[in-house]
Structure 1
């Protein structure tokens, strides 16, 4: 963060009497995680984020690109939590969590204060990058009318719907169907010390950047930003990366990449696999590449004794991805929304 663009404070005058806002630290993680869990249960009936994920965001590897603010009431209890994430040039992720136990008037006022802080913090992040304007990217569960009301009041507009999908995995899924002729699916090559081959990492980044260039809200990410963000996820594992190549010519050509992570339960044990990325170059679409990559991650989950594979898909995607997932046995578990606002830095 540039010293010329400090993250703003939230003054006590913006809060109820006796309430205070400050930057949270590792000691706040258990209470913040409990606050988020209460919010998710109230919004969709079940918690989503794990304690490990909350720790990574606030005090772990994921903290480097995030700024946080926690609001405590006069008794010291955490009642609100806002996070801004420098996701990519021109895109700042905004998350606001408000205690569902608060009455409507207090909750509305606290949400307005936190969204106001997030806007100012997002402007500071964009200013540190030397940008004149940035997107603020937030969201809500499809069933959470309260969060949607707060987003609209803060100047955001609903722009997209996402299906959170899941496919059960059984022992029979351990058998990987053969790809179509000319297609090979493999894990990334590994160096002598066990780390992934840098050429494969670079190729993976290049394939995904090109594959998603025509997708909704894609913002280009540098190679270093891409790796740092994925490695900050507590569920990240190098052996959950797969590459698809066309072998029709003299040398294999990378055309598809799938990156998955471990889905952890409340005790931190892996119970499923989650597809973080699945991208196929436009020139290779129609050759069963995406299906073969899905077969690979499903078989891997079955070999590990996991119960499911999960992913997110754009409900309005023009690529036909939703149809592919439905044909592979995925069903929608719940629905989320993207809400955007654009702000000038000056």
Structure 2
């Protein structure tokens, strides 16, 4: 289910000026995903970025490979900046996430002095702007959004983003909830249970072990419908949706749940939850709610609560110790109230920063 061809410019020389403003001996090129040293170095940079931004590092090599592997670059492009010794000092990654929305990863070595760090940052922003024009033109758009994130406490990143013309547009609470072993009994069976005319079940599996396409399309349709009016919602095709979610290192088909309203012979999809595994190297793994959506027509029937209870029970049955999720701090739906009432608390805070780039 790989989407259309990459819409970015793969050769940095095609999008950067002949002199990008780097010191003598420094260069910008593309990373080699097959080189173990490259993957290790990018992981080191990303972990350093996280450690300063939120106080601890969680990224691993799988997170880097999502961005730079041949599979990942079906919808992405990458740039690295190397010093005269060949050491990677900065890394940028762009992702053609959906029509009109391009995600941008911007990481600069925390060990660089201010002047060199500024130069590297400028190159990443200039490259990202050119890539935004490329992908926007390929999609036939007049304007392309660049969407990037920052930790709430990362003042260096904030200053760079503001200077590059980005606006801080949203705040997100990264929440976590501990899970107790006894909560495996929170629902009768996480694979399938029913309450007040609503069935909560895993996606069905076919003879080859792959999930039912009809169920996957139902989940896609529910999430597209549930998030239509949400902040920065952008339509995503079914194939783009499946391709992107399967890239997640924590992806598991047995973490996809569908909620259906059953009225006699009538069965209507009403809600969906997509979970992932949060692996830990020094303790129990956790579960993560990547997506939770309920159609407006089904709200007030306990669908969201039932789906959350399901993933908590599933996590407990797998001997996991936590369930994480992200919530829009500015959402008018009051979802944070539900999460707080069910035991979630904020672990750290992130922000969305946007810039609109004219394509022509």
- TM-score, normalised to structure 1's length? 0.95
Please say if residues 8 and 135 of structure 2, whose CA atoms lie closer than 8 Å, have aligned partners that are also in contact. Answer: no
Task: Give the deviation of 1:270 after TM superposition.
Answer: 7.0
Aligned to 1:239: 254
- Aligned pairs (5 A) from 1:134-213: 134-177=144-187, 180-213=195-228
Find the aligned partners of 1:33 and 1:4 in 2 and give their Cα distance: 23
Please say if residues 243 and 257 of structure 1, whose CA atoms lie closer than 8 Å, have aligned partners that are also in contact. Answer: yes
Please say if residues 94 and 128 of structure 2, whose CA atoms lie closer than 8 Å, have aligned partners that are also in contact. Answer: yes
**Gaps (5+ residues) in structure 2?**
189-193
1:263 corresponds, among 278, 285, 299, to 278
- Aligned pairs (5 A) from 1:266-277: 266=281, 271-277=285-291
Task: Give the deviation of 1:266 after TM superposition.
Answer: 4.4
Distance 1:155 1:52, change over 3 A: same
Cα root mean square deviation, aligned: 1.8
- Aligned pairs (5 A) from 1:75-114: 75-114=85-124
**Gaps (5+ residues) in structure 1?**
none
Superposed CA offset, 1:100-148 (max 9, x none): 1112222122212211111111211222222221110011000001001
Please say if residues 116 and 154 of structure 1, whose CA atoms lie closer than 8 Å, have aligned partners that are also in contact. Answer: no
Task: Give the deviation of 1:61 after TM superposition.
Answer: 2.9
Task: Give the deviation of 1:250 after TM superposition.
Answer: 2.9
1:20 and 2:36 are equivalent in the alignment: no
Superposed CA offset, 1:205-234 (max 9, x none): 111100000110000000000000011112
Could you list the runs of 4 or more consecutive aligned residues of structure 1 that deviate by over 6 angstroms after TM superposition?
A: none
Find the aligned partners of 1:81 and 1:3 in 2 and give their Cα distance: 20
Task: Give the deviation of 1:16 after TM superposition.
Answer: 1.4
Task: Give the deviation of 1:279 after TM superposition.
Answer: 0.2
Please say if residues 8 and 120 of structure 1, whose CA atoms lie closer than 8 Å, have aligned partners that are also in contact. Answer: no
Aligned residues: 345
**Secondary structure of the equivalent of 1:108?**
helix
Task: Give the deviation of 1:53 after TM superposition.
Answer: 1.4
Please say if residues 274 and 292 of structure 2, whose CA atoms lie closer than 8 Å, have aligned partners that are also in contact. Answer: yes
- TM-score, normalised to structure 2's length? 0.92
